[in-house]
Structure 1
Amino acid sequence: MQYDVTVSNEGDIDAKLDKITVPESTNPAIGFEVTGIEEGSLLEAKQTAILTVTVKYNDVTEQPTDLTADLEVTLDYSQAPEGYVPPVTGPSIGGQPVEIVDSGDGLYEDTYESGRYVYKGANPNNYIEFDNGEVWRIIAKEADGTYKLLKNELLP
């Protein structure tokens, strides 16, 4: 069972979601999962967002005598600072979300070092063009957040 809850910012100032509080279920046979809005997300003035609450039944529990459970989700918002940009969840290059692949050309998660990503393939679409017209390729994003670049002219 799934419920969509509309969250509205009816004010004139953008809001940042600081914390989502989802308490444990009051019934061990019934669980809840909350998705759709994440901590750190931005809710712009006069806009809405959808919070999805999914009810999950525990299949290892015997049928309880109590068939109900209560849920109260608390969303703590604050005024978003001027120019606030929500954090990117998942892998990113320069703050932009990127797709991780496991075959073909593209960005791969390093199998040896957590948080490191490497471009592989004949045409992995990993180019950066600077204002002076120079084209460089991103070779890797290191676990410490730094990047390895190689000038495109140097590639065979």
Structure 2
Amino acid sequence: MQNGISYWESQIKQYLDDTNNHVLVRADLIYEEEAALCSEIILQARSVKDDELSFKAYVYNEEPDFKTSEIRDLKKEAEEAERARLEQERLAEEARLAEEARIAEEAGSPRKPPCRPSRQKLQKCKHGYRRQDTNTIPIRTVPE
């Protein structure tokens, strides 16, 4: 019985060892919908000088004693590593801010909150909010 792709590879190797001729080999991978591994392989081979070796085989991609738990999800690992990196940066920033607050407290000057524009100084416009110009005098039109 023909077991997997190794049987067909051994047929090609045997032909090459016996004749020292060239062989054209083509392997097409067939994937099921959204699968990471191919489900089957179409393997074609033909000898160049003679037609002593010529076949087209459908080989199912299955491994005896293969456990799906051994497959690593690389995308999931990368996302977890990125989350861990961001968490580490957040903790480092919190530690830095706490250290700055401690130093400012020891020096006797309370730490000022970051300067943000007051909501009263902003005017709503069609694009969102814009800063109100405080140097202009509102013009009032008088009816004629």
TM-score band, normalised by the shorter chain?
under 0.3
The structure where helix makes up a greater share of residues is 2
- Give me the TM-score of the superposition, normalised by structure 2: 0.27
Greater Rg, structure 1 or structure 2?
2
* Bigger strand fraction: 1
Q: TM-score, normalised by structure 1?
A: 0.26
